Structure 1
Amino acid sequence: MFVTRVERAQFSLLVVKVACSGEAVRQGWKELYQRLDPDSMQRLTAASYGYVLVPEWQWDSGVRDLWVGIKAWPEMTAPEGTAVIDIPERQYAKIRVHGDRRKMEEAYEELNRWFMQSELERDTSISSYSIEANALFPVNPFDIPAHVISYFQYDIYAPIKPN
């Protein structure tokens, strides 16, 4: 398990805002999915990801809100109860979570350790988000109840503060 520094291009997400809990994330995913039109549903392919955005500016007081979403496309209209969030091009510290809950905790600890040992700072400014990218196929992790899921495979992208 190791951290790499990566650059991600600008992209937009169609999201719903949820409370910071595994069950709320899954409920938000269901709500988002129900709001998608047939054209949007057809665009969810084997290459699709479900995203969880973590607002970095909330870490000091405790993260209360998350956003759950899918990549938006230019002509997409946000259905009622959703929003589009634009994520700018920027650098991230990336680590892969691959394993049980203990491995997930170790990945977050390793990410924090990497920032402490690096000359780089985590960007906790307003409108800065960490991104958790979850493959939706072959198994959609958002379809597994939070109290049941025992295996995790997703990438964490923690924003790096610009120089």
Structure 2
Amino acid sequence: MIQPLRGTYEDGNEAEAGSCPESYRPSRVPGAFKLLRGMPQDDKMEAGTMNDGPGTITVVERPEMNAIVLKTIRNGRDVREAWREIEQVMTDHPDRLHKDQGLVFIPEWQWTTSIETLWVGVEVASLEHIPQGFETMSIPARKFARTTVRGDRTRMDHTYDALWKWFDTEGYKRDMTESSYGYELNRLSPVNPFHIPADKINDFDFDIYAPILSN
């Protein structure tokens, strides 16, 4: 997703070396992120436009979200290992919300160079009971551009490309300032994508939330 930067993707291939284009528009997807069907009920829709291929990109307002997370490096194997630890500790956690969803948080400021770190976790109602060795993530209420990836790797790449083009043409700016996070919201049923090896999965269905810079 961050090509032509050098890095390892979930299929084990290495991206080409080079510099980030002026718009920071990726042509491949970091090897970590997976599935979601549907739209969360607490999304408030503001506006939408059809992009040039994969589907609709919509501006939504999301309420504040708190999560318990683990930090990991950006590759499919390590993301899945982090998820296994999340699953072991958080499956029956009393504050966990949306037990059919898993989150991968993306440090937006790293788009200007290369996405190196990710945070894997689950949404919680409270940050009062944090398991030892885990971290917390708080995303303030704000606007996001939301789009859905459905299909194979080629469709996934096209969807990411379309999202960057949307920011270039629709009058919104992606918030890539320090401490700004986007995220991918993954449905864990009927198939949990974190249980599928990174080099095997080729059927994607998840939502991307890209933060919008406020005026």
Which residue among 101, 119, 133 is the counterpart of 1:67? 119
Q: Look up the match of 2:90.
A: 36
Is the 1:53–1:131 contact (alpha carbons within 8 Å) kept by the matching residues of 2?
yes
Q: Look up the match of 1:16.
A: 70
- TM normalised by structure 2 equals 0.71
Aligned positions, number? 161
TM superposition shift of 1:61: 2.0
Larger relative contact order, structure 1 or 2 (CA cutoff 8 Å, min sep 6) = 1
Distance in 2 of aligned mates of 1:7 and 1:94: 10
TM superposition shift of 1:85: 0.7
Which residue among 122, 129, 133 is the counterpart of 1:81? 133
The aligned amino acid for 1:98 is R
Q: Does 1:7 align with 2:61?
A: yes
The aligned amino acid for 1:67 is W
- TM normalised by structure 1 equals 0.92
Greater fraction of residues in helix: 1
Superposed CA RMSD:
1.8
Q: Does 1:128 align with 2:180?
A: yes
TM superposition shift of 1:72: 1.3
* DSSP 3-state at the match of 1:31: helix
TM superposition shift of 1:76: 4.8
1:78-157 matches, cutoff 5 A: 78-157=130-209
> Can you give the 5+ residue segments of structure 1 that lack an aligned partner in the other structure?
none
TM superposition shift of 1:16: 0.4
Distance in 2 of aligned mates of 1:58 and 1:42: 28
> Can you give the 5+ residue segments of structure 2 that lack an aligned partner in the other structure?
1-54
Is the 2:97–2:122 contact (alpha carbons within 8 Å) kept by the matching residues of 1?
no
TM superposition shift of 1:37: 6.5
Superposed structure 1 runs of 4+ greater than 3 Å apart: 37-45
TM superposition shift of 1:53: 0.5
For each residue in 1:124-154, what CA deviation from the matched residue of structure 2 results, as whole angstroms up to 9, or x when unmatched? 0111111100011111111111101110110
Distance in 2 of aligned mates of 1:70 and 1:149: 21
Give percent identity, aligned residues only. Answer: 39
